Amino acid sequence: MISSTTPSPLILAIETSCDETAAAVYSTEKGVLSSVLFSQIEMHKQFGGVVPELASRAHIEKIDFIVKEALTTANVSLNEIDIVAVTNKPGLPGSLLIGTCFAKALAGSLNKKFMGVNHLEGHAFSACIENSIPFPFLCLTASGGHTSLYIVHDFGNYTTIGNTLDDAAGEAFDKVAKLLELGYPGGPIIEKRAALVNFEDFFNYPRSKIKDLNMSFSGLKTAVLYDLVKRGAYDLQTKTLLDTSDELKNKVASSFLVCVANIFVQKIKQALIDYPEAKAFAFVGGVACNKYIRGVLSDFCKKNSINLFFPSPKYCTDNAGMIAFVAAYKAERGQFDDLSLDIL
């Protein structure tokens, strides 16, 4: 990506926007040299979701260790690093502050170049880490905090063309799993349950009526809830699941998953009509780990002769490799920040 006449800087990237403490070392010549993380999932599991205060505390405990591990794995010393990059927006403020303060302290004390990176830009370009994707491409980011459609014109240049109007898709997986008492995070468990009943659509939950490229997942979650109530399987007053049978849980999980995949296909179909200049489609973010949705989107793209790209799972969920990748093209353009950079 960097021309051969340009010296190839080494980048240390730090990501702490939510519940993963992550660090990566990236060489503009060789790509990702290391991408390591500590996931706090086990800690947040018992609360059914991320507890911001606990997330910040865990970042403080782990960040030094994770950064050292990223350097060791890459076989690079801190002195050899040229640029320190950090996710400074958007995310949980307390969590962002830990990574940003740590990165500033490193950059300031060791006199390294410094920059902030937008977490969503990291996701949007995450499929480019391992693939050469032609511009402009259509991108669907579906994670626990965000669900958006973009037209990506070039590195660092993208236009948002659709957004969730309420919950993110991953959040809906988490909430439906909570409703079914399946645990956290919901995505992988819902996928496993749905596989047990062959991804059949038993309950045909209402599809989105939104005509433009925006989406809604809160309505779907509510539809699942009221359908359970109608079946006498959920008591709204005591907020209790009355029918705890595996049969019902698997059927709900499967019907919900099929509905989400359907919403994505509907939106991508429309986006490709509205933006015929799109030369490819990238599906990214934590929800892009889902093999069933990947399959449905693959079939759709094959039928419509559009090239489809996914990041490998380690670059779908939050990671610092994607932050380092964005930092590399920002560095090429001299887009550095000073140490007064704030979180957003």
To ligand KG4, the closest distance from the beta carbon of 134 in angstroms equals 24
Among ligand KG4, Zn ion, none, what binds residue 88 when CB lies within 5 to 8 Å by partner kind?
A: none
DSSP line for 129-142: TTS-PPSSEEEEEE
Among ligand KG4, Zn ion, none, what binds residue 21 when CB lies within 5 to 8 Å by partner kind?
A: none
Positions 112 through 171 that interact with Zn ion (CB under 5 A): 143
34: contact with Zn ion by CB under 5 A: no
Q: Which of 116, 122, 219, 286 binds ligand KG4 (CB under 6 A)?
A: 286
Among ligand KG4, Zn ion, none, what binds residue 264 when CB lies within 5 to 8 Å by partner kind?
A: none
Can you tell me the distance from the alpha carbon of 1 to that of 333, in angstroms, rounded to the nearest whole number?
12
Going by the DSSP 8-state scheme, the letter that residue 10 receives in this structure is E
CB within 8 Å of 209: residues ≥ 6 apart: none
Residue 284 to residues 35, 38, 172, 308, 343, Cα–Cα distance (Å) = 17, 20, 17, 11, 24
216: contact with ligand KG4 by CB under 6 A: no
20: contact with Zn ion by CB under 5 A: no
Among ligand KG4, Zn ion, none, what binds residue 337 when CB lies within 5 to 8 Å by partner kind?
A: none
Q: Which of 131, 188, 197, 332 binds ligand KG4 (CB under 6 A)?
A: 188
Query: Under a CB-based contact definition with an 8 Å cutoff, are residues 8 and 334 in contact?
Result: no
289: contact with ligand KG4 by CB under 6 A: yes
Positions 79 through 138 that interact with ligand KG4 (CB under 6 A): none
**Cα angle 294-299-305, degrees, rounded to a multiple of 5:** 115
Burial class (CB in 10 A: 0-12, 13-18, 19+), 188: middle
Q: What phi and psi, each to the nearest 5 degrees, are found at residue 12? A: -110, 120
179: contact with ligand KG4 by CB under 6 A: no
Picking from 200, 187, 204, the residue whose alpha carbon sits closest to that of residue 250 is: 200
318: contact with Zn ion by CB under 5 A: yes
CB nearer to ligand KG4: pick between 203 and 292 = 292
Residues at the site binding ligand KG4, with contacts judged by CB under 6 A: 18, 143-145, 170-171, 173-174, 185-188, 191, 285-287, 289-290, 317-318
- Give residues in contact with Zn ion (CB under 5 A): 143, 318
